Structure formats: C-alpha cells, structure tokens
Structure 1
C-alpha cells in the first residue's frame, strides 16, 4: 500500500504538474514492452432487469424494479498496440439479482406481487481501451465495447397477495429463469455494450467501474420486453 500511495503521488506530480503538463506524457504513443498482458479481476455488481409488466398485464396500478447485488470474477488479456491503446478481451462469471413489485386491481379489489429474480452468466467482453498517463506510474483506462453472455441456473421466485375473495390469500410461486419452455422467464443469450473507466498503478494494480446494458429483449413471455442492466466494480492484478 505504501508503494502504491507513493506511485499515485508521483504520477499526480508528473502528469498534472503545472508547466510539466504535455501531450506526450498523457498520450504516450510509445511501443509497449509487452504485446500481451494477462490480468485477473474480482469484484461486486448491482443489476436489474427491466420489464413492461404494466403494459402486458391488465389493471396494473404501480410497479417498481429494484437493483440487487452480486459478485463477479474473471480474467482479461491486454493486446497492447501502443502504450495509449489496447484491445482487451476477457471472460467473467457474474451472479445477478433484482427485485420487482406490482400492485394491480380487477376493478373491485387490490392484489400485489413481490418477486426476486436471480441468475448466473458467463460473459465475454471485447473492449477498446484508451489509456492516458505514464504506464510505469499510473494510467487511466477508458473502455468501451460489446459483450456476449450466456446464462444458466437461477429462478424467478414471487409471492402473490390476493384479496379478491374478501380475505388475504398468499401464494408462493417459482418460475425457471432460463429454459426452452414458454414458462421460462428469459432467453439464455444476451449481448450489449460495456463501458467504463479504470486506473492501473505501477502496471500491476487495477481498480475499475463499468456499466453494461443489454441490447437484446430477453423476456420470453408473450408481448413482454426486458433488458439486462448492470454496474460492476472490480479490483485486479496484471501479471
């Protein structure tokens, strides 16, 4: 930690030090020492799955989606074309979770549904990475590119509260998250855009934050629409 703190201070002076500021320092066009660099990443995420239940279900008075936490782990490979630019493919395992709440009426009584959706994903991002700063000290990474994902496991668990009979009746339900049947909640495959920023210190120590948005409508129900969203926060080490 002491070495990392000293490096950050030195980088601040070297890169943003008044008259010493120059384009060459921030935008290093030099040839990197290594064409390939391998790194590992570990972190947490918060995710959500949008829905249009209020459009496809009759009588919906109110709905709410809530982000929930999960974990992620994986590796990346930097293909370094210049000190300021790299292509970074990777592979990650994500656990994802979100809650949803619905309040609807049949015109005479109110009913409600509270549910939790969770699933696991293998994700392959391919990012273009612009890198600003001094590689041996500190670089800021600005990343953007597509991702491709495949899901497995998971479930959609919910409780339904029905008062149509004059008494409150609570029913527990469970739906598979993925599957070939029409009863499944979501398709397994997704693709979208991942973008974010990171900081690499001394060519080894990494911290970053990224946002992901799925372009594909993954909901399987008739007329239903939904897209995956996620914020990820990770630390890592490059070898």
Structure 2
C-alpha cells in the first residue's frame, strides 16, 4: 500500500509538472548562405578556383517546450538546402556547383529575455543531426556541363557521406507569435569519403536568416 501511495504521488506530481509546462509547435523558413569549410577552400585555391557562397533555403516545423518561464527546449525537423560554388580565377566560365539536400534535426536550448510584455530576445544553441537525401555536383565549362551524384562512392558519384553532425548557434526576437532570427551552423563531421578525397576535409558551414510562427 505504501508503494502504491508513493507511486500515485509521483505520477500526480509528473502530471502537474507536464501541465505546468508550455508546449507549442511552430513553422520556420528562411535563407541559407553556405560554404564547405577552409580545407576545401584551400585545396580548390591551389587549383586556381575560388570558393563562393551558395544561396539555399530551409523550411520545417518545431516544438517549443517551455521548461521554465525563460528556458525552452526546441527540437525541430527541417529540409535544408546547402552546398558550395567554385569559379576559376582566370576564366569564370569554368564553374563547379555543389547542391546538397538534407533532412535536419536540431535540438536547441533557448533562453529568452523579456524586453516587454510581447517582445522577447532569444539566445539559442545546441547540436544538430542531418542526413543527406540528395545532391549533385555540376561542372560547367566551354565543352558543356557534366553532373554526378554528390553522395556515394560508386561510379558517377562524388564521394560524400550522407551523415552530418554539428553545432548551431543563433539569436532572434519574437513579437508575440512571430519570430525573426539568425543562426550559424558549424558542421563538425568531415563528409568527404577518405578513399575519394584523400586527406581533404569537407565540412558544412551555414549562415541562415529565418522567419517563424508559433501556434
């Protein structure tokens, strides 16, 4: 009987705690400005190619889980378009464009400072996991264009790994249910297959601007 009473008290406390927490969901979309890290930049520079920022986008949904009045956990699921571009220094008709598509799962800790009754400043940080669902290397030149799949190590595949992991840092402001913010994604995983790229490291780098709405 004593165990039953203790269990009932614990369950009741858990239910009350869950009810006290604020759980909402929202949507978010925005612009990605991506590169592939300094190591690949240096390798391509030695081959007379300059690395350029590629413009992409992201779109998805998230949960906004308030643990306290100011501290939130925010997991999400997004489609994210990343990659990089290279142009020949001597002849800009020779270009390489890398287009990478990911399903991305960030899990962010978010602390919010109240600036007024309806305005909050957000500071966000946490890890993300990503899986490549598609991508292409496109080579442009005077003799025509060529393409190959970005992920995989087979014939006509560019030798990139699908799995990516990194850290995300961001800040923004919410006006009632509307959020506007920026973030930087620091890829920690070398997505270049060693047999295909030797010692060259390729790591995703992304600066993003987002607009969101919480329901």
TM-score by length of 1: 0.71
Matches within 5 A, 1:201-220: 201-202=175-176, 204-220=177-193
Counterpart position of 1:164: none
Counterpart position of 2:173: 199
1:231 aligns with 2:207: yes
Which whole-Å CA distance do the structure 1 matches of 2:58 and 2:41 have between them? 31
Which whole-Å CA distance do the structure 1 matches of 2:47 and 2:130 have between them? 34
Question: In the TM superposition, what is the alpha-carbon distance from 1:33 to its structure 2 partner?
Answer: 6.2
Which whole-Å CA distance do the structure 2 matches of 1:85 and 1:36 have between them? 12
Q: Residue by residue, what CA displacement relative to the aligned partner does 1:158-188 show, whole Å, maximum 9, x if unpaired? A: 1357xxxxxxxx3643221112427424110
Matches within 5 A, 1:8-87: 34-50=21-37, 52=39, 60=46, 62-87=48-73
Larger proportion of helix: 2
Counterpart position of 2:81: 95
1:121 to 91, 102, 127: 102
Gaps of 5+ in 2: 1-18
Which whole-Å CA distance do the structure 1 matches of 2:174 and 2:38 have between them? 37
* Higher gyration radius (CA): 1
Question: In the TM superposition, what is the alpha-carbon distance from 1:82 to its structure 2 partner?
Answer: 1.0
* Mapped contact 1:56–1:223 kept (Cα < 8 A): no
1:138 aligns with 2:119: yes
Give the match's secondary structure for 2:182: strand
* Mapped contact 1:156–1:185 kept (Cα < 8 A): no
Counterpart position of 2:162: 188
* Mapped contact 1:91–1:123 kept (Cα < 8 A): yes
TM-score by length of 2: 0.78
Number of aligned positions between the proteins:
192
1:157 aligns with 2:133: no
